[in-house]
C-alpha cells in the first residue's frame, strides 16, 4: 500500500526556535497562592492601597469560582498551589530602568529572539536574528518587553511622549497615571468575569499600558513582547489600552517561552477602550512553546481579551495568528456600545501534533448601525484539535446591526479535528447576519500540482496554507505579515516528514 | 540515447482495496526535437503513463524503467523529476485558493533555478516575461493576480498550463488532453504555444483523442496505446486512419 503523501507529511516532530533558557539569577516567589501572596505582589510593586484591595477582592471572588469546562480542550487538573506567582530577574528587582542598565544577559536573549531593543539599531532597521520568527521585529516599532513577571525595557519612550502618547509598563502607570488606571482597570473585563480573569486580577504581574490622547494618531506601531523564562512560574500579564476620542493606534503582541517538560500557565487579561471616533488595531502573533510531538510540556494559554467601542463610530480590530501553546483558550471580543461602531476579528489558528485550540470571538451589538466582521481560519495538522467558538449577540437596542462571519477550516492529514460552534443570539429583527463556513483539506492533488512544478513538499504545504490564510494576513501590519508567514512555515515543520 | 526512454514499463494503480495492473510492458523512445502523439481508447492507460512518469502518488511501478537523458526517473520524488525537466500539463488543473498565479510561478521558477544551481531570475524581468506569455495566450494579465486556477474556466485552465510550460521550459513536456474543452480559437492559441515551445533539444508527448489537434501540432510519430501497451505506431497519417476507422481494426 502506498501511503498518501499528505499522511506522510504529518509524521515527525516540530521545531521551536525560541525554546532556549536564559541563565539569569531570578527572585522567584515560593509556589502557592493565598492572600499573603497577593499582598506580597502588590507590596513588591509598591502599589497604592486601592489596588491592593482590588486584588484581594478579585482573589476572594476567584476562590468562589470554578474552572470552566465547556471548552473543547482536555488537560489534567491544574494545581494552582504548585505555581509560583511572581518571578523577576534579580538584576531587575528594582523595576524597569533605562536600556543601558538592563542586564546584558537579558539583552542577549532579546537579540536572539530578534526583538530590537536598541533604538538606534531598530531605527536603522537592523534586526538581530531573522530565525526568531513570530516576534515583532522592524524599524518603526516601539517595544515594551516583559520577562516573566516584570517589564524590563520600553523603547522610544521620548518620541512617543512628544506626541503625548503614554506607553509604559502598567506597574509604572499605576504610579505615574493613577487616575487613568483606576478609571479603566477592570472596566471592560470585571474581576469576576471568568475564572482566569479573576485569577489574573488578583495576581497580575506586569504588562503594558497605553493611552493615546484625543485626536492623536500614534506615530509608530506599539508592541509588547512577552517571554516566560523561569520554571514553574505562571505569567499573568495585564494590558490596558485607552484610545481617547478620534485617536488611532496599532499595537502588536508577541510571545515565546523555553521548551520545558512541564506545562506552564499563562492567564493574561487585555482590555481595550476606544472612545468616540477612535480606532484600535490589536494584532497578536502568539508563539508560546507548544509542547513536544507527544504533547509533553507547553503553555496553557488561557486568556481574556475584550474591547469596548465606548463612543460613536469607534472601531476595534483584533487580528491574531496563533501557532503556539499546548492549549489555547481565547476569545478576543468587542462590545459595540457606541452607535455606528465597528468590531472586527481576523484569526489564524494553527495546531499541530497534540496541540488544542478553542478560540473565537464575541461580538456584542448594543448601539445602532453597529457592524462586525469575523474571519476565522483554522488549520489542523498532526493529531491536533482546532475549534472555532463564536458568539454574535444583537441586543434589542441595536437597530440595523450587521454581522458577517466566515469560518474556514483546513485539515492536513486525517488524524486531526476541526470543529465550529457559531452561536447567534438575535433580539432585534432589523439585524442582518450572514454566516459562511467551509472545511477543506490540503489535497494530494494540490501538493502534487506544486511538486510537479519543482516545488518541494514542505514549501508546497506552507504555500497552500499561506494562501488559505491570505485574508487574515492582509490585516496584519506589513512587517508582521511577513513574520506570520514565516512562523506558519516553522510551525508546520512538524507536519512535514 | 533518446531524450526519454521507456522500456518494458509495467505499472499498477493502487486503491484502498486493490492493486490493478494498467501498463503491461510499454516501450517508448522520444528523441530530442520530436513530438510523439499518443492516442487510444478510454481507459487504455494514457493518463496512467503520464502520471507514472511524473511520479503522482497512487501508482506502483512493477517492472521496467524510464530515463530522461539517461537518468532513471522512477526512483525520484515528483519534484526531483520536475527539477530534472519533466513537465506534465494536467488534464484537470487543480485550484489552489489564495496562492496567486504569479506567486506560484515565482516559487516554481525559483525552485527549478535553485535545484539546477542557476541564479534566481531577476524579479522585474520575471514579471515582464510572465505578462508577455499571458498575453500571447490571450490570458488577461489580471489572471496573474488571481489564485492558481481559482474560478478559471476549463479553457482558461488549459491555457494556464501552456503558459507554465513556456515559462518553465522543460526538457520533456507530457500534455494530457490539453486540447479537450478548448474552443476553436483557443485550440489554435494553445497549439501555437506548443509549437513555440518545440525546439531541437526538447521533446513532447501529446496525449489526445482528436486528430484535429495534430493538424496544428504536427507529430513526428503517432502511437496507439491499448490495454497498457503500444500496439501500433506510425506517422501523422496513422491519426487520419484512426479518425476514419476507429480503434477496432487494431485490437
Ligand atoms: N486512481 C484510480 N483509481 C482507480 N482506477 C484507476 C485510477 N487511475 C486509473 N484507473 C484505471 O486505470 C485505467 C486506465 O486509466 P487511464 O486514466 O490511464 O486511461 P486513459 O487512457 O487516460 O483514458 P481516457 O482516454 O479516458 O483519459 C482505467 O480503467 C481507470 O479506471
Ligand atoms: Mg486520460
Asked if residue A10 is part of any domain, the answer here is: no
CB within 8 A of A282, min separation 6: which ones?
A: A241, A251, A252, A253, A270, A272, A305, A307, A316, A317, A318, A319, A332
Contacts of A471 in chain B (CB under 8 A): 98
Chain-wide mean pLDDT for chain A?
80
Instruction: Please give the distance, rounded to the nearest whole angstrom, from the Cα atom of residue B38 to the centre of ligand 1.
Output: 15
Would the pLDDT of A378 be above 60?
A: yes
Answer yes or no: is the C-beta of B223 below 6 A from any ligand 1 atom. Answer: no
Q: Do A445 and B94 touch (CB under 8 A)?
A: yes
Q: Do A464 and B54 touch (CB under 8 A)?
A: no
How many domains are contained in chain A?
A: 1
Asked if residue A332 is part of any domain, the answer here is: yes
Answer yes or no: is the C-beta of B45 below 6 A from any ligand 1 atom. Answer: yes
Ligand 1 test: best mutation among B47, B209, B228, most atoms within 8 Å of CB? B47
Percent of chain A with pLDDT over 90: 37
Answer yes or no: is the C-beta of B15 below 6 A from any ligand 1 atom. Answer: yes
Residue with cell 504555444: B193
Answer yes or no: is the C-beta of B210 below 6 A from any ligand 1 atom. Answer: no
User: What is the ipTM for the molecules in this complex?
Assistant: 0.95
- Band of the pLDDT at A3, cuts 50, 70, 90? very low
Closest alpha carbon within chain B to A4: B57
Instruction: Please give the distance, rounded to the nearest whole angstrom, from the Cα atom of residue B153 to the centre of ligand 2.
Output: 20
pLDDT of residue B168: 95
Mean pLDDT of the region A62-76: 82
- Identify from A406, A454, A459, A464 which residue to disrupt to test chain B contact, counting B C-beta atoms within 10 A and taking the largest count: A454
Angle between helices A457-473 and A478-492 (to 10 degrees): 140
Q: Would an 8 Å CB–CB cutoff place A450 in contact with chain B?
A: yes
Asked if residue A172 is part of any domain, the answer here is: yes
pTM: 0.79
Answer yes or no: is the C-beta of B43 below 6 A from any ligand 1 atom. Answer: yes
pLDDT of residue A18: 55
CATH 3.30.750.24 fits B4-245, yes or no: no
Asked if residue A335 is part of any domain, the answer here is: yes
**Is residue A323 within 8 Å of A287, Cβ to Cβ?**
yes
Instruction: Please give the distance, rounded to the nearest whole angstrom, from the Cα atom of residue B47 to the centre of ligand 1.
Output: 7
Asked if residue A286 is part of any domain, the answer here is: yes
Instruction: Please give the distance, rounded to the nearest whole angstrom, from the Cα atom of residue B47 to the centre of ligand 2.
Output: 4
Q: Are strands A269-274 and A238-243 parallel, antiparallel or unpaired?
A: parallel
Q: How far apart are the CA of B168 and the nearest CA of chain A, in angstroms?
A: 8
Q: Would an 8 Å CB–CB cutoff place B103 in contact with chain A?
A: yes
pLDDT in tens, A316-359: 999 988 887 778 888 999 999 999 999 999 998 888 877 787 88
Question: Rounded CA gap, B6 and B64, in Å?
Answer: 8
Question: Rounded CA gap, B239 and B212, in Å?
Answer: 9
**Which SS3 state, helix, strand or coil, does residue B51 take?**
helix
Answer yes or no: is the C-beta of B42 below 6 A from any ligand 1 atom. Answer: yes
Mean pLDDT of the region A459-468: 88
- Name the residue at shortest CA distance from atom 25 of ligand 1: B42
Instruction: Please give the distance, rounded to the nearest whole angstrom, from the Cα atom of residue A454 to the centre of ligand 1.
Output: 25
Residue with cell 523512445: B29
> How wide is the angle at C-alpha B39 spanned by C-alphas B36 and B43, nearest 5°?
135
Range in A423-437, B31-45, B141-155 with the lowest mean pLDDT: B141-155
Q: Do A453 and B98 touch (CB under 8 A)?
A: no
Answer yes or no: is the C-beta of B18 below 6 A from any ligand 1 atom. Answer: no
Q: Would an 8 Å CB–CB cutoff place A81 in contact with chain B?
A: no
Amino acid at each position: 500500500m502506498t501511503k498518501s503523501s499528505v499522511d506522510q507529511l504529518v509524521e515527525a516532530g516540530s521545531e521551536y526556535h525560541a525554546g532556549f533558557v536564559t541563565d539569569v539569577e531570578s527572585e522567584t516567589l515560593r509556589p502557592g497562592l493565598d492572600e499573603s501572596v497577593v499582598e506580597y505582589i502588590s507590596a513588591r510593586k509598591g502599589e497604592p492601597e486601592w489596588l491592593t484591595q482590588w486584588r484581594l477582592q478579585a482573589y476572594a471572588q476567584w476562590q468562589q469560582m470554578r474552572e470552566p469546562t465547556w471548552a473543547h480542550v482536555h488537560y489534567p487538573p491544574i494545581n494552582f498551589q504548585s505555581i509560583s506567582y511572581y518571578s523577576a530577574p534579580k538584576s531587575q528587582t528594582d523595576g524597569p530602568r533605562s536600556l543601558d542598565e538592563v542586564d546584558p544577559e537579558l539583552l542577549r536573549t532579546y537579540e536572539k529572539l530578534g526583538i530590537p531593543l536598541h533604538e538606534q539599531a531598530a531605527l536603522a532597521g537592523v534586526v538581530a536574528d531573522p530565525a526568531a520568527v513570530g516576534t515583532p521585529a522592524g524599524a518603526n516599532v516601539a517595544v515594551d518587553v516583559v520577562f516573566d513577571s516584570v517589564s524590563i525595557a520600553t523603547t522610544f519612550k521620548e518620541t512617543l511622549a512628544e506626541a503625548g502618547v503614554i506607553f509604559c509598563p502598567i506597574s509604572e502607570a499605576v504610579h505615574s497615571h493613577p487616575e487613568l488606571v483606576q478609571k479603566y482597570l477592570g472596566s471592560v473585563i470585571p474581576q469576576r468575569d471568568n475564572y482566569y480573569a479573576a485569577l489574573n486580577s488578583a495576581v497580575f504581574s506586569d504588562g503594558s499600558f497605553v493611552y493615546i490622547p484625543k485626536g492623536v494618531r500614534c506615530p509608530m506601531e506599539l508592541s509588547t513582547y512577552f517571554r516566560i523564562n523561569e520554571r514553574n512560574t505562571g505569567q499573568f500579564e495585564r494590558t490596558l489600552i485607552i484610545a481617547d476620542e478620534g485617536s488611532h493606534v496599532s499595537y502588536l503582541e508577541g510571545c515565546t517561552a523555553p521548551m520545558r517538560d512541564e506545562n506552564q500557565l499563562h492567564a493574561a487579561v487585555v482590555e481595550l477602550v476606544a472612545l468616540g471616533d477612535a480606532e484600535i488595531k490589536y494584532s497578536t502573533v502568539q508563539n508560546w512553546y507548544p509542547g513536544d510531538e507527544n504533547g509533553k510540556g507547553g503553555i496553557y494559554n488561557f486568556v481574556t481579551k475584550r474591547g469596548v467601542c465606548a463612543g460613536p463610530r469607534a472601531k476595534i480590530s483584533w487580528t491574531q495568528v496563533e501557532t503556539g501553546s499546548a492549549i489555547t483558550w481565547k476569545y478576543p471580543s468587542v462590545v459595540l456600545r457606541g452607535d455606528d461602531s465597528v468590531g472586527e476579528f481576523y484569526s489564524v489558528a494553527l495546531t499541530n501534533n497534540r496541540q488544542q485550540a478553542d478560540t473565537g470571538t464575541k461580538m456584542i451589538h448594543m448601539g445602532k448601525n453597529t457592524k462586525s466582521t469575523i474571519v476565522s481560519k483554522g488549520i489542523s495538522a498532526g493529531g491536533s484539535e482546532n475549534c472555532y467558538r463564536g458568539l454574535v449577540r444583537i441586543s434589542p437596542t441595536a437597530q440595523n446591526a450587521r454581522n458577517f462571519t466566515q469560518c474556514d477550516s483546513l485539515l492536513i492529514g486525517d488524524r486531526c479535528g476541526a470543529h465550529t460552534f457559531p452561536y447567534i443570539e438575535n433580539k432585534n429583527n432589523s439585524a442582518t447576519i450572514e454566516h459562511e463556513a467551509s472545511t477543506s483539506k490540503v489535497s494530494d492533488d494540490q501538493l502534487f500540482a506544486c511538486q510537479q512544478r519543482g516545488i518541494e513538499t514542505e514549501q508546497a504545504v506552507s504555500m497552500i496554507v499561506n494562501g488559505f490564510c491570505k485574508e487574515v494576513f492582509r490585516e496584519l501590519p506589513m512587517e508582521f505579515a511577513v513574520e506570520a508567514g514565516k512562523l506558519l512555515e516553522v510551525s508546520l515543520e512538524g507536519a512535514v516528514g | 540515447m533518446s531524450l526519454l526512454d521507456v522500456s518494458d514499463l509495467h505499472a499498477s494503480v493502487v486503491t484502498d482495496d486493490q492493486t490493478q495492473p494498467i501498463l503491461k510492458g510499454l516501450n517508448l523512445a522520444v528523441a530530442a526535437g520530436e513530438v510523439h502523439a499518443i492516442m487510444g481508447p478510454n481507459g487504455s492507460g494514457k493518463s496512467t503513463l503520464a502520471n507514472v512518469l511524473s511520479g503522482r502518488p497512487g501508482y506502483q511501478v512493477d517492472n521496467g524503467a524510464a530515463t530522461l537523458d539517461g537518468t532513471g526517473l522512477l526512483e525520484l520524488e515528483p519534484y526531483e523529476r520536475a527539477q530534472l525537466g519533466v513537465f506534465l500539463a494536467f488534464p484537470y488543473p487543480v485550484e489552489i485558493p489564495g496562492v496567486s498565479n504569479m506567486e506560484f510561478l515565482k516559487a516554481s521558477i525559483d525552485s527549478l533555478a535553485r535545484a539546477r544551481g542557476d541564479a534566481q531570475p531577476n524579479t522585474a524581468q520575471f514579471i515582464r516575461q510572465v505578462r508577455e506569455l499571458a498575453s500571447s495566450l490571450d490570458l488577461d494579465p489580471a489572471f496573474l493576480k488571481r489564485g492558481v486556477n481559482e474560478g478559471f474556466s476549463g479553457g482558461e485552465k488549459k491555457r494556464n498550463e501552456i503558459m507554465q510550460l513556456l515559462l518553465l521550459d522543460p526538457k520533456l513536456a507530457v500534455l494530457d488532453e490539453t486540447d479537450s474543452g478548448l474552443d476553436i480559437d483557443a485550440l489554435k492559441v494553445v497549439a501555437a504555444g506548443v509549437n513555440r515551445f518545440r525546439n531541437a533539444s526538447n521533446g513532447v508527448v501529446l496525449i489526445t483523442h482528436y486528430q484535429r489537434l495534430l493538424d496544428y501540432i504536427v507529430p513526428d510519430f503517432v502511437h496507439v496505446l491499448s490495454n497498457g501497451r503500444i500496439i501500433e505506431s506510425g506517422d501523422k497519417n496513422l491519426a487520419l486512419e484512426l479518425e476514419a476507422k476507429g480503434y477496432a481494426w487494431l485490437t
